[in-house]
Chain A
């Protein structure tokens, strides 16, 4: 039922691995013992360092080689964090790009996905009647309702969230410049700016954090699944065991598929990330081109609560137009190593 962040934190400490450091406390968690706070403005994003710079690519796929150290979100971005973002940047606007940061689909989910929605919006978006965003409470989760992963995220929504963090994550921080120079664009393929402080991970950064493990036996140091396993995770109710995930439309999660992040407490990557298998597909920064070599789509990885087992493996990338969003598309961000 409820989730006790302190319990998870101590459990994580118990299994912490050499070279893996918790970077920051998450908003709302009482965890002073684990790390220095890395809050930015109005939110805190927990991240883990990804060391072993210069690692070779996966011999099976060619992905995963990263030449520099970086850090990556320990979890997918959560409803609670996204509500703070919306109330900071999307209360009054005449721009579709800003209005579309919230989707009605965040409020009304299909019943087999979740009986309880995630975020409501009231108001008109005008200066006299600004939008107000409110986290919806799932009674079975209570105060942890905001720990659920956010969904219906387009590449642009993820990029605007990164910009907001880059600019200090305050009520006046811009969503349109910083990591990505967007200027209210809602289509097209954009490149990360060199001085980005938070960004959508490259495909190699995402892949390394999910599958790489320098302690793995054998010459190829990549697991097939993000749970440090070559066998598929078990699709079961949380917390599960050491190789469990919310994916493949688990019968145990019918109607309650949007689970809080990190609740499969014993299932994590070598670097300590959670839910890189299942829960939400996550955007990365790779670009795919068409017959004429024109950029058209971007990559997602990690699978979701929905059907399919290959999706969560290292063999399961997808690509979508950057404006695409759905009830299983989310994200986590990368940042500089601390």
Chain B
């Protein structure tokens, strides 16, 4: 689809990924950092970023491994769901997640037929290039509602066969579009735009307006760099640096080991755009939702604090999903 192939004779992707040891979640909890400084002022140049309370935000985008665990828990078989609901739950898995011709490459294999006798089973596709870290790449191809269902499932303690429709968001009649607000008492949620923005750009130790122009504490674009080059901060996977890579365009979360925000989050610039809770009014189809942060794909500006995009229903598809959009979750400061 996109055509500017960068054939940058990618040498080697073999690295010692000791840094990822802390990113393996035995019980699926999300590693997080606390975003303090409640009551910080908004960015005077954009108006975003003011958050009056402390909260936690995941250090990383939700990974393939985490999404596979989710699918195996909730999308193995229809169970007691109505058939319309099962269509939606089956749809948490997208055929694009396993297509070699797509830029991210093959990520998740699904076997079985979704019956009680032969339930679906989901596994992380192995990757020669990334080895044990294949599943530590972030999951793309998710709609805002897929992210909301993941948040609900986390909120409910990761139950089997249920738990996707209530909790953080009350999803009545298995919706795939329309507006849903976060419930009070949510334990995991899609960050509000201000929460996301503060975690990415705010730095109380920065003089003047305490917001960086780009994530990873930089006023200039990060280095467009391969992980294997072990780049100094700020660096990120963006502007097609991995386009045409036979192992796909996605790199493990946290792989740019020293490129972090003030609060310690990784990859809020590049890799995958991230859903936020913010709605953009759409009189035709109901609200679109805001994404931020840019992706592996083309462009420098997407990582800037001034840039946000919005997506909603797309033609006959109920909601947008693509090869460059994922999510991370936020949590209360004290559960």
Contact = CB atoms under 8 A, between A and B. Distances in A.
Contacts of B1: 326
Interface stretch (B51-59, B179-187, B247-255, B301-309): B301-309
A234 B283 contact: yes
Interface stretch (B60-68, B152-160, B217-225): B217-225
B4 interface: yes
A308 B309 contact: yes
Contacts of B282: 232, 248, 309
B234 A291 contact: yes
Contacts, number: 95
Interface stretch (A83-91, A137-145, A315-323): A315-323
A22 to B, nearest CB: 32
Question: Size class of B's contact patch?
Answer: 35 or more
Contacts of B314: 249, 307
A289 B298 CA distance: 13
Nearest to B314: A249
Given A234-B283, A249-B315, A251-B315, A310 B298 contact: no
A315 B306 CA distance: 8
Given A290-B221, A290-B224, A315-B306, A308 B311 contact: yes
Given A232-B283, A290-B221, A296-B239, A325 B3 contact: yes
Contact of B300 (A234, A250, A296, A311): A296
A44 B212 CA distance: 47
B221 A291 contact: yes
A288 interface: yes
* Most B Cβ at <10 Å: residue of A310, A316, A325: A310
B160 to A, nearest CB: 35
A315 B47 CA distance: 13
A297 B294 CA distance: 15
Contacts of A324: 2-4, 298
B284 A288 contact: no
Interface in B105-132: none
A321 B223 contact: no
B17 interface: no
A135 interface: no
A288 B4 contact: no
A310 B4 contact: no
Interface of A: 112, 232, 234-236, 248-251, 254, 288-291, 293, 296-297, 299, 307-311, 315-321, 323-326
22 contacts: A232-B281, A234-B283, A251-B285, A251-B316, A288-B221, A288-B300, A288-B301, A289-B221, A290-B223, A291-B222, A291-B223, A308-B309, A308-B311, A318-B298, A318-B302, A319-B300, A320-B299, A321-B4, A323-B4, A324-B298, A326-B2, A326-B3
